[in-house]
Amino acid sequence: MTNRRPGIIARLTGLVRGLLSGWMRDREEDNPAAVYENAINERVRHYRQLKDAVAGILYMRNKLEGELQERRQELARTLEDIRRAVRNGDDEVGLALIQRKTVLVAEIDRAEKDYEALKSEAEEAKGNLVRFREEIRSLEREKGQTMVRIANAAARRRIKSAIDGLSVDADMKALENVRAHVAKLTTENDLDKELGVADEVSQRIAAIRQEATDDGARRELDELKREMGSMTIPVRASDVKITSPATH
């Protein structure tokens, strides 16, 4: 039991890490702008820390340079004092000044070495600071270009989806239904013509119109009869007497 427990805990820990890693990866893919922003902000934070460190190095370099200049000036005065003491024959003061000169030379030598090392370190730090700043600017440019590519890809995907979805849209379905209905009606008309149905209807319409014409003629005839009263209207050619012209 003692041997199994650490294994179970390790497996559970690995599972949780895997789930969190997958969840985090999905979130990052869903929001690339936030990923770039976090990366940029992190580098800006390191850049500020590095900038503070470089400022400290430059301060120490400038301070050491100032102290070194003062020691060199003091050494120049000491050498002048030694020559004056020798001219005056004051050996005791000359000996003390020589000892002071020795100390100053050692201090100056040590300070020059420290100054050169610090100056080299300052130059390297400034170079790193410039590269770090350029990396931040490069990330900002990359972020802008990436977001433009993502926006273009999303627009192309929306256009493709819209084109692919045209055939299944409701309005397109309705239009297809209308087209099918019109085609069906046209086919039915053509079929009626083939079966003679259309000709029969035309004949019936013509008969109705002829009947209306005949009724009109009868009404006109009846009206003439009423106007003429008892006058007889010959209806046969045999009833009409034809008188031949007199022969001269």
Count of H helices and E strands in the chain? 5, 0
Q: What is the pLDDT of residues 30-63, one digit of tens each?
A: 577 788 888 888 888 888 888 888 888 888 889 9
Task: Identify the CATH assignment for 12-164 out of 3.40.50, 1.10.287, 3.10.150, 3.30.310.
Answer: 1.10.287
Helix-, strand-, coil-residue percentages of the chain, each rounded to 5:
90, 0, 10
- How many other C-beta atoms are found inside a 10 Å radius of the C-beta of residue 29? 9
Q: What is the pLDDT of residues 108-128, one digit of tens each?
A: 999 999 999 888 888 888 888
Q: What are the residues whose beta carbons fall under 8 Å from the beta carbon of 115, sequence distance 6 or more?
A: 61, 64, 65, 68
Q: What is the pLDDT of residues 63-104, one digit of tens each?
A: 998 999 999 999 999 999 999 988 988 888 889 989 999 999
* Best CA proximity match to 108, nearest among 138, 146, 78, 140: 78
Cβ(110)–Cβ(88) below 8 Å: no
Residue bearing the bigger pLDDT, 53 or 4: 53
* Model pLDDT, residue 26: 52
pTM: 0.45
% pLDDT > 90, the chain: 12
* Best CA proximity match to 146, nearest among 41, 21, 27, 34: 34
